[in-house]
């Protein structure tokens, strides 16, 4: 398989159009089989549900080239299940989970030449998404939907790669207690744009959102969950009903316990105790694990002992083990790796 001629080591996290995408339509109560197409344009009514009332949700996962040259995806069944939960919460028709996995596999297979080579630091990001495509003017769900999957090669999500980030505690809320924080609704990201632009203008890489009800507990950032490491080496992650259940975070907690023999804990984490942790990282498909060196809370600087130069030791071990599993260097737990067969 001849690869595209890209400067793989230096691509950022942006959109690069690849050859084929998957498109399926829902009409009269049923999904069609879907097709792969070269057409990257979406044509919908000016009154489509997605345009008027933001009826849309999405997923994000990656394909990797392993050490022995195979192309694999990481836990696509977990994305299928989470997308089904997002659809139900947004009154959208579920795209059947097995068909979801098949659709992402078909899309990767059709874009094999775009999967970055092993060792380049880049990966193929896969974006499945769904939206209400029929006309809606009174507030109600659409009758027709489109499910699509595209791929784009990506490098690191944060500029500077593995350099520790400085983030701020946001004064904006991301998710209400019984809202949509636990699903991947497009609307969650629309409402975070002002907060992220503000944070960037102030020189911060990301926002730490607190729980909207009490503003005392750590939730997550705009696109990743938190992991903390205590001074005695325990891995702690915030528990809340209004954060997105990150597949990376759930995988890392398993890796910490089963591969590294660390103690792990999912519990409420109060902003007042953040100063006591030894290490902090942001985890997600795009973020992988990005170390945090400093959190600024209304002018007060909370600097982690791991510093601003490199990842802390535990976060580094978690990073090495997870990426080792994804790249085929370390044996994966059963069912985590989905191999794309070349045809």
Report the DSSP beta bridge partners of residue 217: 270
Residue 93 touches which of ligand PLP, ligand COI, none (Cβ within 5-8 Å per kind): none
Cβ neighbours of 97 (radius 10 Å): 17
In which residue are the tokens 């059709």 written?
Answer: 110
Rounded to whole angstroms, the Cα distance separating 189 from 186 reads 5
In which residue are the tokens 């609307």 written?
Answer: 187
How far, CA to CA in Å, does 126 sit from each of 22, 68, 105, 150?
11, 21, 10, 6
What CA dihedral angle connects 71, 73, 74 and 80, to 10 degrees?
-170
CB of 216 to ligand COI, least distance (A): 25
Backbone angles phi, psi at 324, to 5 degrees: -60, -40
Site size toward ligand PLP (CB under 6 A) is: 12
CA-based nearest residue to 218, from 194, 190, 193, 239: 239
Does 246 bind ligand PLP (CB under 6 A)? Our answer is yes
Torsion sign over Cα 26, 27, 29, 32: negative
Does 240 bind ligand PLP (CB under 6 A)? Our answer is no
Choose which of 65, 134, 151, 285 interacts with ligand PLP (CB under 6 A).
285
Does 244 bind ligand PLP (CB under 6 A)? Our answer is yes
Contact between 66 and 328 under an 8 Å Cβ cutoff? The reply is: yes
Does 281 bind ligand PLP (CB under 6 A)? Our answer is no
Contact between 219 and 207 under an 8 Å Cβ cutoff? The reply is: no
Rounded to whole angstroms, the Cα distance separating 291 from 306 reads 9
Alpha helices in the chain (DSSP H): 49-53, 76-89, 97-109, 186-190, 193-201, 247-254, 313-326
Residue 247 touches which of ligand COI, ligand PLP, none (Cβ within 5-8 Å per kind): ligand PLP
Choose which of 224, 236, 280, 337 interacts with ligand PLP (CB under 6 A).
224
Does 141 bind ligand COI (CB under 6 A)? Our answer is no
CB of 276 to ligand PLP, least distance (A): 24
Residue 321 touches which of ligand PLP, ligand COI, none (Cβ within 5-8 Å per kind): none
Does 223 bind ligand PLP (CB under 6 A)? Our answer is yes
21 or 184: whose CB is closer to ligand PLP?
Answer: 184
Does 223 bind ligand COI (CB under 6 A)? Our answer is yes
Does 225 bind ligand PLP (CB under 6 A)? Our answer is yes
The site string for ligand COI over 174-213 (x = CB under 6 A, - otherwise) reads ----------------------------------------
For the segment 26-85, give every residue that binds ligand COI (CB under 6 A): 60
How far, CA to CA in Å, does 9 sit from each of 123, 141, 154, 264?
10, 43, 10, 34
**317 included as an active-site residue:** no
For the segment 284-343, give every residue that binds ligand COI (CB under 6 A): 284-286
47 or 190: whose CB is closer to ligand COI?
Answer: 190
CB of 223 to ligand COI, least distance (A): 3
179 or 233: whose CB is closer to ligand COI?
Answer: 179
133 or 291: whose CB is closer to ligand PLP?
Answer: 291
Contact between 269 and 279 under an 8 Å Cβ cutoff? The reply is: no
Can you give the binding site for ligand COI, defined by CB under 6 A? Answer: 60, 223, 284-286
Catalytic residue positions?
184
């Amino acid at each position: 398989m001849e690869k595209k001629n890209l400067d793989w080591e230096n691509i950022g996290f942006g959109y690069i159009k690849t050859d084929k995408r998957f498109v399926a339509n829902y009409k009269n109560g049923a999904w069609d089989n879907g097709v792969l197409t070269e057409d990257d344009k979406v044509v919908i009514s000016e009154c489509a549900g997605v345009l008027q009332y933001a009826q849309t949700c999405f997923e994000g996962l990656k394909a990797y080239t392993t050490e022995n040259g195979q192309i694999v995806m990481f836990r696509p069944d977990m994305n299928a299940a989470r997308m089904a939960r997002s659809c139900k919460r947004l009154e959208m028709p579920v795209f059947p989970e097995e068909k979801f996995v098949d659709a992402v596999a078909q899309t990767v297979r059709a874009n094999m030449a775009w999967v970055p080579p092993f060792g380049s630091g880049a990966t193929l990001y896969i974006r499945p998404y769904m939206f209400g495509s029929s006309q809606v003017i009174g507030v109600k769900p659409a009758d027709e939907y489109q499910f699509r999957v595209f791929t784009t090669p990506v490098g690191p999500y944060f500029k500077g790669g593995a350099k520790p980030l400085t983030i701020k505690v946001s004064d904006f809320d991301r998710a209400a207690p019984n809202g949509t924080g636990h699903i991947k609704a497009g609307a969650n990201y629309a409402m975070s744009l002002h907060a992220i632009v503000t944070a960037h203008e102030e020189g911060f890489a990301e926002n730490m959102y607190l729980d909207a009800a009490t503003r005392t507990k750590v939730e997550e950032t705009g696109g990743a969950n938190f992991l903390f490491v205590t001074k005695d080496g325990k891995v702690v992650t915030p528990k809340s009903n209004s954060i997105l259940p990150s597949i990376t975070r759930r995988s890392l907690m398993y890796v910490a316990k089963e591969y590294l023999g660390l103690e792990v804990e999912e519990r409420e984490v109060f902003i007042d105790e953040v100063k006591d942790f030894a290490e902090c990282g942001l985890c997600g498909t795009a973020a992988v694990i990005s170390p945090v060196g400093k959190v600024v809370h209304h002018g007060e600087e909370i600097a982690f002992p791991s510093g601003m130069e490199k990842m802390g030791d535990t976060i580094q071990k978690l990073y090495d083990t997870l990426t080792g599993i994804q790249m085929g260097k370390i044996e994966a737990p059963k069912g985590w790796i989905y191999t794309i067969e070349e045809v």
